[in-house]
Amino acid sequence: MYLDNLVGVFGHPVAENPTCVMQDAAFDHLGIRWKYLTIEVLPDDLEAAIRGMRAMNMRGINLTIPHKVAVIPFLDEVAEDAKLIGAVNTVRRDGDRLIGENTDGKGFLRSLREDAGVDPAGAHVVVMGAGGASRAICVELANAGVASIALCNRSAERGEQLAGHLNAHTRARTTFHRWDAPLTIADEVTIVVNATSIGLYPDVDECPLVNLDSIHDGQVVCDVIPNPPDTAFLKQARARGAKTLDGLGMLVYQGAIGFRMWTGQDAPVSVMRSALEKAFA
């Protein structure tokens, strides 16, 4: 079959990456002859893989572990927000130039606004975790005008580094809290984000170390985990009256932003979400 354009994901390991499911569903729905490839790329081969992407005239790629930072030297340009995050998860082609972007935090922010109906401006936020997802989410929340971010992480070194980075480069007041005991959510907090992998399939019964009685109505509790979409943590939060936001929306919306960057067309987000729900089921 002749294809007009190729996109894909580079990672290691990458076999279980679900992005191809939603992107190919979107291409098929719109009737465009594009294909999304899932490509295993070892760390030592990343530079060669980027050269291959150029040679094959691929329209773009996603990057996943362990390439989100390592890819930066091989690109022609990196968007300002991706520089602030310090990682690239999406590359788009602009003529002969490869531009690095980060759509993870943007996907979360769109899901927060559109799915939960929450404007984060002026909010007090708790974010659990200090990895790549947390970094992208914190930067986008700070850019959206949150009043404060309480960053909680087991590793003090990584958490303090991220808090310092946010205080130096954004207007959000960020504090670091060592997360070695059950976390009590302050009454003023209105947005709680689990940006860790706790509760990810197959460990579906696990919950972040949180004092669940400190969760109440008036809060929106978010989980970045897409599989299962309704995590044990979200179920516990909902039982206490909180509004909940699953990680499937973030995954779909970040993919939809990349889809638009590559194709110039609006992504059929409902089709993409439905494809993922079927795959995860």
Q: What is the pLDDT of residues 82-135, one digit of tens each?
A: 999 999 999 999 999 999 999 999 999 999 999 999 999 999 999 999 988 999
Q: How confident is the model at residue 276 (pLDDT cuts 50, 70, 90)?
A: very high
Average pLDDT over residues 207-213: 96
pLDDT score of 2:
66
pLDDT score of 4:
84
Task: Name the segment(s) of the chain with CATH classification 3.40.50.720.
Answer: 105-245
| Cis amide bond preceding 13, omega within 30 | yes
pLDDT score of 80:
94
Residue 3 has pLDDT above 80, yes or no: no
Averaged confidence pLDDT in the chain: 95
Q: Catalytic annotation on 106? A: no
pLDDT score of 1:
60
pLDDT score of 15:
87
The three state secondary structure string of the chain is CCCCEEEEEEECCCCCCCHHHHHHHHHHHHCCCEEEEEEECCHHHHHHHHHHHHHCCCCEEEECCCCCCCCHHHCCEECHHHHHHCCCCEEEEECCEEEEECCHHHHHHHHHHHCCCCCCCCCEEEEECCCHHHHHHHHHHHHCCCCEEEEEECCHHHHHHHHHHHHHHCCCEEEEEECCCCECCCCCCCEEEECCCCCCCCCCCCCCCECHHHCCCCCEEEECCCCCCCCHHHHHHHHCCCEEECHHHHHHHHHHHHHHHHHCCCCCHHHHHHHHHHHHC
pLDDT score of 281:
83
Reported as a single tens digit per residue, the pLDDT across 123-172 is: 999 999 998 899 999 999 999 999 999 999 998 999 999 999 999 999 99
CATH fold of 105-245 reads Rossmann fold (3.40.50)
pLDDT score of 231:
97
pLDDT score of 106:
97
Name 151's Cβ contacts closer than 8 Å, sequence gap at least 6. 127, 130, 134, 138, 159, 162, 163, 166, 174, 175, 176, 177
pTM for this entry: 0.94
Task: Name the segment(s) of the chain with CATH classification 3.40.50.10860.
Answer: 5-102+249-280
Residue from 35, 68, 83, 235 carrying the catalytic annotation = 68
Exposure b/e, 244-261, CB count within 10 A at least 16 = b:
bbbbbbbbbbbbbbbbeb
- Structure token pair of residue 36: 């999304």
What superfamily does domain 5-102+249-280 belong to in CATH?
Leucine Dehydrogenase, chain A, domain 1 (3.40.50.10860)
